[in-house]
Structure 1
């Protein structure tokens, strides 16, 4: 990560083991409960997959750069592509602290500010939904309800 490049960061404590939280991002059958509606496959190092938000008729290509089980998922996505790191920290109490960092932005000025605001809000919503799903087993429909006028 270039220290001079803008970086957004969101974080959340999830009261579940790192292996379960990590798997929730790897397996699209689980991720669909708190983020996108459809994934073309599980995340594996070197893979290129498609994530879809069917309610908005939007999809994106995701390139998996690196995976360290229960510790890190590194991807690039978007156009122009940016890097996203999902960092999972195991805690002594058996819970997981997850940090999402997005960086490598090419946009500048107002366009960069709008993108940073959008992505910060989006990743915060993802982590809020993850917490509800992992800790309470519920899908709050946060992503689907974020932009109801676009459906």
Structure 2
């Protein structure tokens, strides 16, 4: 089995009915991001910084390098597993359209397909949590509730 580049790219998108400044800030400022995604961060996303994100309920973390931050437009990060994630923020009349693209998956074709599926699902949950929080001030606990049997804390 061979995979085309289209299959090895995970993409999740959603309209968030808030101004681009507010939506962008929600991803770079962990005081906000912890309301809908990870539980702890070593700092704001700033270009050139190395950051650690923790999901304390699962006892896992991720180390990443912030490669690019273009205010209210784009964020590009690289994880330790060499995958990259890019956020594109597109202002619209009704709010902000957020596109998250994850690339650089490695492994057998079956492993790559599994990683892409997990990534699409994960980033979709993140965008749904963001939407609920910013638009309705509701914390849905989607990430914690995704794998209730894996919770360690």
How far apart are 1:77 and its partner, in Å?
Answer: 1.0
Could you report, residue by residue, the CA deviation over 1:29-70 in whole angstroms, capped at 9, with x for unpaired residues?
100011000011000000001000000000000110001000
Separation (CA, whole Å) in 2 of partners of 1:52 and 1:100: 20
The match for 1:41 is 43
- Structure 2 CA distance for partners of 1:123 and 1:82, relative to 1, 3 Å: same
Could you report, residue by residue, the CA deviation over 1:2-37 in whole angstroms, capped at 9, with x for unpaired residues?
x83721110000000000000000000100011000
The match for 1:88 is 89
1:40-119 correspondence runs (5 A): 40-79=42-81, 81-93=82-94, 95-119=95-119
How far apart are 1:109 and its partner, in Å?
Answer: 1.5
The match for 1:130 is 130
How many positions carry a matched residue from both structures?
Answer: 147
Separation (CA, whole Å) in 2 of partners of 1:120 and 1:142: 14
RMSD: 1.2
Separation (CA, whole Å) in 2 of partners of 1:29 and 1:100: 20
After TM superposition, the score normalised by the length of structure 2 is: 0.92
How far apart are 1:78 and its partner, in Å?
Answer: 4.0
Extract unaligned runs of 5+ from structure 1.
none
Q: Which 4+ runs in 1 deviate beyond 2 A?
A: none
- Structure 2 CA distance for partners of 1:118 and 1:4, relative to 1, 3 Å: closer
User: What secondary structure is seen at the aligned counterpart in 1 of 2:57?
Assistant: helix
